[in-house]
Structures are given as structure tokens and as C-alpha cells.
Amino acid sequence: MITDRALPPRGDLLVQAVEGMDRPLFVLDEAWCFSYINPAGAQVLGRTVEELLGRGIWEAFPEAVGSPFQELYTSVFRTGESGRTVAYFEPLDTWFQADAFRTDAGLVVTYDDVTERRRTEDERAAAVAAREEAAQRAAEAALRAADAAAEAELAGRHLMLLGDISQAMTSTLDSDEAVSRFARLVVPLLADWCLVSVVDPDGSRRDVGRAHRDPAMVEAMHRYADARVGSNSPHAPVPTALRSGQPVVIPQVTSAHVEQMVADEVSREALAPLHPSAVATFPLLARGEQFGALTLVNGPDRGPHTDVELRTAEVASRRAALALDNARLAAANQQVAERLQLSLLSPPVQQPHLETAVRYRAATRGVSIGGDWYDSFLQPDGDMVLVIGDVMGHDIEAAAAMGQVKTLVRGIAFDRCEEPAGLLRRVDHALVGLAVPTMATALVCRVEHDGAGGRTLRWSSAGHPEPLMLGPDGRVTDLTAPIGPPLGIGWRGPRADGAADLPDDATVLLFTDGLFERRGVPLDDGREQVRRLLARFGDRPLEELCDRLLSVMLADGAEDDVAVLALRTRAAAR
């Protein structure tokens, strides 16, 4: 034990060195009492040398009991192995680094105030941790941004898909073609493969739309689609969706589901190579009517359909159903227009020596009828009357007005058997007297026979383009005569007839102005083109001549309704 008695004289160099060293040091005896402490050590501990010498350390510093310092000193006393600890001593608000080793004189402890160093290290560690945390936050933000960008990109693709579906399905009136386009669009964005079923008016079901992302699996898909319509059980997704009007979603297809969906072994064998793992079926419902169902199927690599895919599929199914409904309505309107056309534009009269052909092309898209008309019939005396006309307008209302004008022409012509000019005069007065709210141009021709076997063509125009005649010698003639005002204005002035011999093997062409009138093209140039085509194709069969005229003159589409009536004379028995 180091005591004042045991120490060498104060003049001893070793004692002087310990006393004067800057590093704090103290010595504890076996009773844990301070047997020595240098001035630097006492100063760091906030005491004097006299206050600590001979006093127990745990009595002087009871806060150190149970601390890392006590653990170090006890361990070094017990094992004899030196040790070090760095710990915080709260009473002095100081961090100490203590080194301890055992000697014959007792436990020697040197220690340093490392508070500043520890603070620097803590600040450095805090800075590093802050940087790491900031980097982590930045990485997480980048991941969130990437996820948000991916979600936005996916949402954009889904929105584009819905727009593409609307455009593709509304650009055709063929419902089967529309359904096929629908199937090709939803794969692979919404599913690995899909089938679109259509319910026909008779209640039968057909899988019209079919698409698979893997070309190698298309044939297998067709085999299953061909088999499943007749083999689906009532509890399969499509019958269930059609019956309930609600989607049917199977996130994980099991063998029990397959047994429930497919009733016969042949269909199950056809389904097996496709490996369905998830199925979602949506009814095609619009305006309270079921048009079919959309079935989306995923393979095992893709897994269940996501919520986003299911939401998009539901919206897509509603748009597709509405497009199919509109297509069916348009088709129904087309059928009505075609039947109205057939009722108004009656087939031309044919005679052994007078062959006729007609053509009609409406300018209004989707409605195959308008204000132009043609007609031919026999009067009681046996003469043939040819009529072509143009009511103002290009729609159903014009067609309805045209029907009234045509009926008046027919009725008056059959009753009176008079020359074309007189017929037009009576029709004009009748339209005004009956308050028919329309105006029309018309050309009436009558083929008259004399007793010697000759023929005369007599005609009169109410504001209508004059006819053309191709003679047997190949020369085209404009059949000109004074043109009167249009019908429907109550014209009281004179109307004139024109007359010309009508030889055998002659062709007479009647047409409305829609055949040759074009924006930016002089009328004379358009009529001259018709004249050249008549000369060029006049030797062809009459039906072919009409087709050639329309294909060339209407190559860029019809700007106006077009009607054509062609007459060809033959030398057959008169």
C-alpha cells in the first residue's frame, strides 16, 4: 500500500515526476481507499488531494457504484489483467477514459477527460448518421417517385387503352369486327389472353373476339374457344355473368374451378395447355341489354389480376357494350333506310327491245338514301316513261319528300298519257296545290312508237341536267331543249319538249348533277368527262357501263346524292 510513509523522500525524482505529471492518476488499496492521488487527478475529480487520501472511492463517489468504472476496477483486481473503459460520469458531467492495472502497491488508475473528444466523435457519428438517414430518405423518395412514375405511366396506358377501344369499336358498323378489335386491344395490358362472347338476337352465344399474347398458344386458345361455348356449365363465369349482370372474378383457378367451369373432358383437355391461373369475366351490358361478356385470363407467371386491371376492364366492358349497342342501332337504321330505298326506288321496267339499268349512291354516310330518284314505267298506250329527279336535301326528310314527288309523277303520267312538258306542268301545280313543302328538279323522257316501227324520244326538263345519247355510230349527242324552272314553285309559264329519233343500238343516259358536279371543277368540264366515259364504255353491257361511270366519277366519294338511269334500244321484235 502506498502511503506517505512508504513513499521515498520528496526529493526523490520518481515522486517528483508522478506529482508533476499532467495525466491524472490515483492508487486504490485493497479496501478501495485512495492511497495516493496526484494533484492533476484530484483537480479533474473536483476535489483536493487531502480530501481524497485515505477515503474510500465508493464513499467519495457513490454515483460510481455499479458503473463501468467499478466493473473495470473489480475485474482488474480479480484477474490482474489491465483494462480500459470509456464511460460518462454524470455528477461531473464528464466522459472519462480510465486505464487500470494492478501492482504490489495496489490498483493504479490513470484517467483522462475525453468529453471534448467524445463530443466530437458523437457529432461526427451524428453527422454520419444524418447523412446516412438523408441518403436513406432520398433513396426511399426516389423509390416512391419511381413507383409514382410507374403508376402514372400505367394509368396513362390504361387511359389510352380506353380511348383506343372507343375509337376502334365505333369506327366500324360490323359488330364482329368491332369485337375482334376489342379483344386484340386488351391483350396483353389487361390479361395474357381473352375471349369476347357475343349473344346474338336468337340467344345463341359465340366467342367472336379472341387474342393471346403468345403466338404459339393462339391455336390452343382457338381449340378451347370452339369447344367451350357448347360445354360451359351454367355455373361457369360467362353464363353466371350473363345471368347476374355482375363481374365474376376468380383470383386463383383450382382444379375444382375447372371442373365447375368446363363440363366435358374434351373441353378440359383443350383448356389444359393454356394453364389458366386467374379468370375475370365482365358482362357487356348497355341500356339494360346484354350483348355478351369479356373474359380475361392470366397464366401462372402473371398471377391474379390487379385492382387497377379489374377497374379498367370494367370500364372497358361498358364502353364496348355501348359501342356494340350503337353499331346494332346503326345497322337497324341502315336496314330501315335500305327498305325505304327499295320501296321508293322501284326496279326499272324491262322490255325485249328496251333495256334499262339504274344506279343510286347517297352522299349521307350511314344512310343509303337521299333526295335523288329514278323511275321507269309503262303508260296505258304502251309507251315507256323514264324519270330522273333531285329533291333538295340529302337525308331521310329529302327521301320522304322525294317519295311524294315520285308518286305524283307516276300517278299523273299514267292517268293523262300526255307529253313530258304537260306532265311536269301538272306535277308542279299539284305540289303547290297540295302544299308539299319541297322543291325538285326533274327530267321526264317518253319513248314513243309509230306504226312503221320507228321510235322517238321526247323529253322535258324542270331545271334538270339534259340527257346524253350514244348513237350506234359511237357519237355522243347532248339532247338539248329549253329547260323550265324546278318543280314546286307553281310556274304558270310554258314548258317545252325536245324530240329526237331513237335508233336501234342507241344508249340514252339520264343522271343527276351529283354525278359530275365537283367543288372547284367547272360544270362543263364535269359533264364533258361523263360524255367521254359514255363514248369509251358505251359498247359494254348496260350494267357494266353504269358501274364504270360511278367508279370513275365517284372515285373520291360522292359529294351529293347520285342517280343514274340508262336506256338501250334493241332491234328485237316490235
SS (H, E, C) 332-373: HHHHHHHHHHHHHCCCCCCECCEEEEEEEECCCCCCCCCCEE
Question: Nearest CA to 33 among 1, 6, 69, 4?
Answer: 1
Distance separating alpha carbons of residues 185 and 119, to the nearest angstrom: 65
97 near 111, Cβ under 8 Å? yes
In terms of DSSP bridges, do strands 289-298 and 507-511 run parallel, antiparallel, or are they unpaired?
unpaired
Instruction: Using DSSP, state whether 534 is helix, strand or coil.
Output: helix
The fourth-level CATH superfamily of domain 166-335 is GAF domain (3.30.450.40)
pLDDT tens for the chain, 574 residues long, are 344 434 445 445 445 556 657 789 999 999 999 999 999 999 989 899 999 999 999 999 999 999 999 999 999 999 999 999 999 999 999 999 999 999 988 999 999 989 998 888 888 888 898 898 888 988 888 888 888 888 888 888 998 999 999 898 888 878 889 999 999 999 999 999 999 999 888 888 899 999 999 999 999 999 999 888 776 778 889 999 999 999 999 999 998 888 888 878 888 889 999 999 999 999 999 888 888 999 999 999 999 999 999 999 999 999 998 888 887 877 777 666 666 666 667 788 888 899 999 998 877 555 566 788 999 999 998 899 999 999 987 677 888 888 899 999 999 999 988 999 999 999 999 999 999 989 999 999 999 988 777 899 999 999 999 999 999 999 999 999 999 999 999 998 999 999 999 999 999 999 999 899 888 889 899 999 999 999 999 999 999 999 999 999 988 776 788 999 999 998 754 4
383 vs 376: CA distance, rounded Å: 11
Which backbone phi and psi does 395 adopt, to 5 degrees? -145, -170
Structural domain boundaries in the chain:
13-113, 166-335, 345-569
From CA 213, how far away is CA 481, in angstroms rounded? 69
Pick from 573, 572, 547: nearest CA to 562: 547
Beta strands 34-37 and 507-511: pairing type? unpaired
Cell of 268: 378440359
Superfamily of structural domain 13-113: PAS domain (3.30.450.20)
The reported pTM is 0.54
- Do the domains 345-569 and 13-113 match in fold? no
Amino acid 7: pLDDT? 46
Instruction: Give CA–CA dist 284/289, Å, rounded.
Output: 8
How far CA 181 is from CA of 174, 293, 330, 475, in Å, comes to 11, 15, 18, 52
pLDDT value for 286: 87
CATH class of the domain comprising 345-569: alpha beta
Task: Provide the total of helices (H) and of strands (E) in the chain, helices listed first.
Answer: 16, 21
